[in-house]
Amino acid sequence: MSDRIIAACDGAAKGNPGPAGWAWVVADAQGRPERWEAGPLGRATNNVGELTALQRLLETLAPGTAVEVRMDSQYAMKAVTQWLPAWKRNGWKTAAGKPVANRELVERIDALLAERDVEFRYVPAHREDGDHLNAIADQAASDAAVTQQAAGTALGSAEMPVPAPARASASRAKSGAGSAATGAATATAKKSARGRASIKAKFPGSCPCGTSYAAGDMIAKLGNRWGHPGCGGAAQA
Ligand SMILES: [Zn+2]
């Protein structure tokens, strides 16, 4: 049995660029999620979200750690595995001669990768039969993009973020440790969601009721989305 732990990271931007966030989740070697973290990026591109998520994940893993990193960003994975050697040779210019985007993030990740045993695995995003760890990271990054607040195990969040309903029910139907963990997280997080206080929106967004909210309006978690605190019934329909 491999003792390689499994982790996933994901970025989110509501618009590209737009209000953005990052998140990671670290599981054990069997894929059971153990801890997670998410944070805000203000207004940023989706690619910055993806790269920052990877950077933050690697920073939380001790040097020497053997880890499988699951990501849904072809750009971020290829940037740090395939394109990086050529960028270094070319003085951080693209093949077209332009400066490489997000160079500081890519260089930081390169240094972190050198001290860790990382295997990347691409997992498609937003699929009903998708990877359960990617679904958690996706939801946490999306929440951080909307709330612009940091969250995670180290900040006292006792439960795993709840993936979108379609994905949650799909993973419950699968067998294995991952589906059991996702099912448990779904049950406990529903309980805590009722008691969650509203927050003031940092950016405008759309409520599940179909209308939008403005920056400064109060918003609350409605299922797996955010919207007007009074629109909870619409979100469950
Ligand atoms: Zn609403």
- Tell me the pLDDT tens digit for each residue of 39-69: 999 999 999 999 999 999 999 999 999 999 9
CA of 212 to the centre of ligand 1 (A): 7
The answer on whether 50 is annotated among ligand-binding residues is: yes
pLDDT tens per residue across span 149-160: 999 999 999 899
pLDDT tens per residue across span 188-226: 444 444 456 799 999 999 999 999 999 999 999 998 899
Return the bridge partners of 206, or none: 212
Residue 110 φ/ψ, nearest 5 degrees: -55, -45
Q: Are strands 117-122 and 66-71 parallel, antiparallel or unpaired?
A: parallel
- The H or E element that residue 107 is part of is helix 103-114
Cis peptide preceding 17, ω within 30 of 0: yes
Neighbours of ion ligand 1 (CB under 5 A): 207, 209, 227-228, 231
CA of 185 to the centre of ligand 1 (A): 26
- As a whole number, the mean pLDDT across the chain is 87
pLDDT tens per residue across span 14-45: 999 999 999 999 999 999 999 999 999 999 99
Q: Which residues are catalytic?
A: 10-11, 50, 72, 126, 138
Whether the CB-CB separation of 6 and 133 falls below 8 Å is answered with: yes
For 5-195, CATH number out of 3.50.50.60, 3.30.420.10, 3.50.30.50, 3.40.50.300 equals: 3.30.420.10
Domain residue ranges in the chain: 5-195, 198-237
